[in-house]
Chain A
Amino acid sequence: MRTGQQRPSAWYAAPALLFFGLFAVLPMVLVVYLSFTDWDGFGFPQPSGAENWSRLVQDGEARDALWLTLVLMVLSWAVQTPVALLIGVWAAGRQRNRAVLSSLFFLPLLLSTAAIALLWRSVLDPNFGVTQSLPFLDRFNFLGNTEIVIYTVVFVITWQYVPFHTLLYQAAARSIPVSLYEAATIDGAGRYKQFFTITLPLLKYTVITSTVLMLVGSFTTFDTILILTGGGPGTTTRIAPLYMYITGFSGFEFGYASAIAVLLLALGAGLSLVVTRATGFRDMQSQQEGV
Chain B
Amino acid sequence: MTVTRTATLPAAPAGPPVARPPRRRGRAGGRRERPNWLAGVLATGWLVLVAVPLYYLVAASFRTRQDYLSTSPLKPPSAPTVENYVTVLQGGFTTYLLNTVIVTVGTVLIVLAVTVPAAYAVARNAGPLVQRMFSLMLIGLAIPAQATIIPVYLLITQLRLYDTLLAIILPTAAFALPVAMLVLTNSLRDVPKELYEAQTLDGAGPLAVLRHLVLPLAKPAITTVSVFTALNAWNGFLFPLVLTQSQSTRVLTLGLWDFQGQFGTNVPGLLAAVTLSVVPIFVLYLIGRRYLLSGLTAGFGK
- Show the binding face of A for B, using Cβ within 8 Å: 1, 3-4, 6-10, 12-13, 15-17, 19-20, 22-24, 26-31, 34, 39, 41, 45, 83, 86-87, 89-97, 99-115, 118-123, 125, 128-130, 132-133, 159, 162, 164, 167-168, 171, 173-178, 181, 185, 191, 209, 212-213, 216, 219-223, 227, 241, 244-245, 248-249, 254, 257-258, 261-262, 264-265, 268-269, 272-273, 276, 288-291
Chain B 26-46, CB-CB to A under 8 Å as 1, else 0, gives: 001111111010111011001
In this complex, how many residues of chain B approach chain A with their Cβ under 8 Å: the count is 122
Query: In the complex, are the beta carbons of B147 and A268 less than 8 A apart?
Result: yes
CA distance A133 to B73 in the complex (A): 7
Note all chain A residues with C-beta closer than 8 A to B29. Answer: 92, 173-178
Query: Would you call B102 an interface residue if the criterion is a C-beta within 8 Å of the partner chain's C-beta atoms?
Result: no
Residues on B with C-beta less than 8 A from A27 are: 148, 151-152, 155, 171
Interface: B101 (CB within 8 A):
no
Expressed in whole angstroms, the Cα–Cα distance for A93 and B36 within the complex equals 10
**Beta-carbon contacts of B240-272 to A below 8 Å, as 1s and 0s?**
011000000000111011001000000100110
CA distance A9 to B235 in the complex (A): 36
Q: How far is the CB of A153 from chain B (nearest CB, A)?
A: 16
- Pairwise interchain contact B302-A16, C-beta atoms closer than 8 A: no
Give CA–CA (A250, B142) in the complex, Å: 27
Contact for B53 among A119, A191, A265, CB less than 8 A = A119
Task: Answer whether A114 and B155 are a contact pair too, CB < 8 Å, given A119-B274, A178-B24, A220-B147.
Answer: no
CA distance A249 to B154 in the complex (A): 12
Which of B40, B150, B241, B267 has a CB less than 8 Å from the CB of A257?
B150
Task: State whether A12 touches B120 (Cβ < 8 A).
Answer: yes
Q: Which of A19, A41, A223, A241 makes the CB contact (< 8 A) with B177?
A: A19
- Which residue in B34, B56, B148, B235 is a CB contact (below 8 Å) of A123? B56
Could you tell me if A96 and B11 are in contact, using CB atoms closer than 8 angstroms?
yes
Closest residue of chain A to B24 (Cβ to Cβ) is: A94
Which segment of B79-87, B121-129, B217-225 sits at the interface?
Answer: B121-129
Q: Does B66 contact A (CB under 8 A)?
A: no
CB of B105 within 8 Å of the partner chain: no
5 contacts between A and B (CB under 8 A): A6-B200, A8-B126, A104-B51, A245-B149, A269-B142
Chain A residues lying within 8 Å of B9, measured Cβ to Cβ, are: 96, 99-100
Contact between A130 and B74 (Cβ–Cβ < 8 Å)? yes
Q: Give min CB distance, A151 to chain B, whole Å.
A: 14
B296 interfacial contact with A, CB 8 Å: yes
Assess the A191–B118 pair: CB atoms within 8 A: no
Tell me if A13 and B260 are in contact (CB < 8 A): no
Contact of A97 among B13, B25, B237, B281 (CB under 8 A): B13
Contact status A159-B140, CB under 8 Å: no
B117 contacts A by Cβ under 8 Å: yes
| B278 interface contact, C-beta 8 A | yes
A252 → chain B closest CB, angstroms: 11
Which residues of A lie under 8 Å from residue B181 when comparing CB positions? Answer: 16
Task: Please name 10 further chain A to chain B contacts, defined as beta carbons within 8 Å, in addition to the given A89-B31, A104-B47, sorted by A numbering.
Answer: A4-B200, A7-B125, A13-B121, A86-B43, A94-B30, A104-B51, A109-B293, A112-B234, A114-B235, A288-B302
